[in-house]
Amino acid sequence: MKILAIDDEPISQYFLKKTLEKFYTVTTAGSGEEGLRLAAEILPDIIILDVHMPGIDGYTVCRELKANHLTSSIPVIFLSASAESDEQVKGYQVGGDDYITKPCNPETLLAKVKVIFNYRDDNIQLKKKYKEAQKTANIAMTGSSEIGMAMQFVEQAYLVNDYSMLAELFFTLTDKLNLICAVMFFTHEGPRCFFSDGAASPLEVTLLKKMRNQNRIFDFGRRTFINYPNATFLVKNMPIDTPEKYGRIKDLLPAVLGNLSNKIFTMKAGHAILTQSEALAVSFSQITTSLLSLGVSLRSSQLESTEILKTMYDEMSMFLPRLGLEEDQEEYILNHIEQANNRALDLNDNNTEIETSFQHVTNKLQSLLDRQNQLLIEIRPAKPNEESLDRNNDYLDNVELF
């Protein structure tokens, strides 16, 4: 431990040096000017400072010591022949840490110095803890802000039904994290690549496809791949030199990408449902049209066959007398024709009931077709509301901390 004693009286310097040098390294200065110079050179652990000196007095020296960033934290013990309260208050006002009245015995001096050393050590520890606490608080605040941005990304992602806009929204988040990224979406149309810096090498595209089958998180150097069933993500500039930020990003990105992967799955499922619904609607329409056409043909055939039988009966009634048949023969033939006609009419009545049932089925199919078309209107993705997204485009700049 180093002590600097500043006193213009040689006897005081001798007393201070003789008392303290058994336990500490002691340097003496005979004036305020010399004391300021030595304090900046040797940076002592404690300064013992006489109040009344020619030239620069002790109060001025202390004030200048506290104004210098090199010496501002060094504890100062004032020495003075005056025990007046005003003197002590003045010493406290300029930054002094203790006050000793001359003359003093060695035991008092050593005790005072020991107390100041303990105070100094405690103060150093407190400052370290304060800095650590401040650092922890800053990390926590930054982490909260990043979590807030991630949560708002998740909220905004549900408004998007376009892969390009979804990637753009995601890069808005990663830009705020100062990350250069690439992402591959595995869509219903096949893999699609997007890049935050607008460009990628063919090798990066190949790696994005191949890394899909690797571990969830795969690191090499400053690059990190994160894999999910419907998305693979590449960070090109992971902050490996900043462990706290690196850890936060490694915790944050998987959660965001998990949601992003689920969103892509939802978009693919929606597309599959939409495609299937459109196919069903076409099938329903074709079946309904075919049944209606078949019903019309059936009805037309029934009417035509009935008309043929009636015409045949009328013609036979008119021409049979000319054939020279016996009366009972004519009656026999006409009775059989009439019976056939009556059976045809009975069948026509039955066919009317069939036609009614047929029409009922057709109406049901038409109802299903109408409901299917309405469902298509409801599930078909709307065009992205760019005005809404633009209005919220700066949401990441206005995140409130938790």
Tokens representing residue 173 in the block: 């988040």
Q: Is residue 251 scored above 60 in pLDDT?
A: yes
Q: What is the pLDDT of residue 5?
A: 92
Average pLDDT along the chain: 76
For residue 100, what are its two tokens? 């000793």
In this prediction, residue 303 carries a pLDDT of 72
Query: 113: domain CATH number?
Result: 3.40.50.2300
H-helix or E-strand containing 15?
helix 10-20
Residue 391 pLDDT greater than 60, yes or no: no
CA 85 – CA 339 distance, rounded (Å): 143
Q: Is the pLDDT of residue 25 over 80?
A: yes
On whether both 94 and 110 belong to a single domain, the answer is yes
**Is 351 part of a structural domain of the chain?**
yes
**Whether pTM exceeds 0.85:** no
Does residue 388 form part of some domain?
no
314 lies in some domain: yes
> The sheet that has 76-80: what strands, in order across it?
25-29, 2-6, 46-50, 76-80, 98-101
Domain-ending residue, one of 92, 110, 129: 129
Range of the domain at 337: 272-379
pLDDT of residue 37: 93
Nearest in space to 198 (alpha carbons), one of 167, 163, 176, 157: 167
148 and 41 within one domain: no
Would residue 392 count as lying in a domain? no
Give me the number of domains the chain comprises: 3
Q: If you average pLDDT over residues 236-242, what whole number do you get? A: 85
**Does the N-terminal peptide bond of residue 54 adopt cis geometry, omega within 30 degrees of 0?**
no
How does DSSP assign 128-174, residue by residue? HHHHHHHHHHHHHHHHHHHHHHHHHHHHHHTT---HHHHHHHHHHHH
Report the pLDDT averaged over residues 226-246.
84
State yes or no: pLDDT of 349 exceeds 70: no
Q: How confident is the model at residue 65 (pLDDT cuts 50, 70, 90)?
A: very high
Q: Tell me whether residue 340 is in a domain.
A: yes
pLDDT tens readout for residues 168-223: 888 888 888 888 888 888 888 888 888 887 666 677 777 777 777 766 787 777 88
Same-domain check for residues 55 and 165: no
The answer to whether position 373 is within a domain reads yes
Q: Please tell me whether residues 149 and 229 are part of one structural domain.
A: yes
Q: Residues 216, 334: one domain?
A: no
Is there a domain that residue 218 lies in? yes
- pLDDT of residue 35 exceeding 90: yes
* pLDDT above 80: residue 72: yes
Asked, for residue 52, whether it belongs to a domain, the answer is yes
